Structure 1
Amino acid sequence: MNKQNQNTKNNFSFQRNVAIIGVLLFVGKLVAWRLTNSDAIFSDAMESIVNIIAAFLGLYSLYLASKPRDEDHPYGHGKVEFITSGIEGALVIFAGIIIIGQAIVSLLNKNILDRIDYGIFIVAITAVVNYVLGYLSFKKGKTENSLVLKSSGKHLMADTVTTLGVVASLLVVYFTKIYWIDSLVAILFGLYIIFVGYKIVRKSLSGIMDEANPDMLRKLSSFLNEHRKPTWIDLHNTKIQQHGSHLHLDAHLTLPWYFELREAHKEMEELVKLIAKNSDRNIEFNFHMDDCKSFSCEICQVENCSARQHQFIKKITWDEKNISQVQKHSLKN
Structure 2
Amino acid sequence: MSQATDHDRLMRLATYASTATAALLITVKLAAWLATGSVALLSTLIDSTLDLAASALNLVAVRQALVPADDDHRFGHGKAEALAGLGQAAFVVGSGGFLLAEAGSRMVHPQPVSHGEWGIAVMVFSIIATLALVSFQRMVTRRTGSMAISADSLHYTGDVLINGSVIVSLLLAAGTGWPLADPLFAIGIGGWLMINAWQIARLSLDTLMDKELPESDRARIRAILATHPQVRDHHDLKTRTSGRQGFIQLHLELAGDLSLVEAHRISDEVEKAILAEFPGFDVIIHEDPAGIREERTEFR
TM-score range, shorter chain: over 0.9
> Could you tell me which residue of structure 2 aligns to residue 233 of structure 1?
232
> Could you tell me which residue of structure 2 aligns to residue 53 of structure 1?
53
> Could you tell me which residue of structure 1 aligns to residue 218 of structure 2?
217
> Could you tell me which residue of structure 2 aligns to residue 260 of structure 1?
259
> Could you tell me which residue of structure 2 aligns to residue 126 of structure 1?
126
Q: Distance in 2 between matches of 1:241 and 1:291?
A: 26
In 2 relative to 1, CA 81–223 (structure 1 residues): closer, same or farther, beyond 3 Å? same
**Contact 2:254/2:287 (8 A) holds in 1:** yes
Instruction: Give structure 1 stretches of 5+ with no counterpart.
Output: 296-324
> Could you tell me which residue of structure 1 aligns to residue 82 of structure 2?
82
Q: Is residue 272 of structure 1 aligned with residue 271 of structure 2?
A: yes
**Contact 1:255/1:290 (8 A) holds in 2:** yes
Q: Distance in 1 between matches of 2:205 and 2:298?
A: 28
Tell me, what secondary structure is at the counterpart of 2:228?
Answer: coil
Q: Is residue 27 of structure 1 aligned with residue 27 of structure 2?
A: yes
Q: Distance in 1 between matches of 2:235 and 2:183?
A: 56
* Shift in Å, 1:122: 1.0
Q: Spell out the pairing of 1:1-333 with structure 2 (5 A cutoff).
A: 1-213=1-213, 214-225=215-226, 228-279=227-278, 281-293=279-291, 326=297
Q: Distance in 2 between matches of 1:78 and 1:142?
A: 17
**Mean Cα deviation higher: 213-222 or 63-72:** 213-222
* Shift in Å, 1:224: 4.2
Flag as ranges the 4+ runs of structure 1 deviating above 3 A. Answer: 222-225, 325-328
Q: Distance in 1 between matches of 2:225 and 2:230?
A: 13
* Shift in Å, 1:327: 5.0
Aligned residue-pair number: 297
Q: Distance in 1 between matches of 2:235 and 2:292?
A: 17
**Contact 1:135/1:157 (8 A) holds in 2:** no
**Deviations 1:24-46 (Å, cap 9, x if unpaired)?**
01111111101101111112100
* Shift in Å, 1:89: 1.7
**Contact 1:96/1:191 (8 A) holds in 2:** yes
* Shift in Å, 1:111: 1.4
What code does the residue aligned with 1:230 have? P
Instruction: Give structure 2 stretches of 5+ with no counterpart.
Output: none
Q: Distance in 2 between matches of 1:168 and 1:220?
A: 49
**Deviations 1:94-153 (Å, cap 9, x if unpaired)?**
222222112112222321211111111112210222133123313421321000111000
If you compute each CA radius of gyration, which structure gives the higher value, 1 or 2?
1
**Deviations 1:50-74 (Å, cap 9, x if unpaired)?**
1111111111111111111111101
**Contact 2:99/2:190 (8 A) holds in 1:** yes
**Contact 1:236/1:253 (8 A) holds in 2:** yes
**Contact 1:93/1:195 (8 A) holds in 2:** no
* TM-score calculated relative to the size of structure 2: 0.93
In 2 relative to 1, CA 39–294 (structure 1 residues): closer, same or farther, beyond 3 Å? closer
Tell me, what secondary structure is at the counterpart of 1:289?
Answer: strand
Tell me, what secondary structure is at the counterpart of 1:90?
Answer: helix
In 2 relative to 1, CA 256–18 (structure 1 residues): closer, same or farther, beyond 3 Å? same
Q: Distance in 2 between matches of 1:240 and 1:257?
A: 26
Tell me, what secondary structure is at the counterpart of 1:32?
Answer: helix
**Deviations 1:150-170 (Å, cap 9, x if unpaired)?**
100000010111111111100
Q: Distance in 1 between matches of 2:225 and 2:26?
A: 49
* TM-score calculated relative to the size of structure 1: 0.84
* Shift in Å, 1:218: 2.6
Q: Distance in 2 between matches of 1:289 and 1:272?
A: 12
**Mean Cα deviation higher: 133-142 or 110-119:** 133-142
Tell me, what secondary structure is at the counterpart of 1:241?
Answer: strand
Q: Distance in 2 between matches of 1:173 and 1:230?
A: 70
Tell me, what secondary structure is at the counterpart of 2:251?
Answer: strand
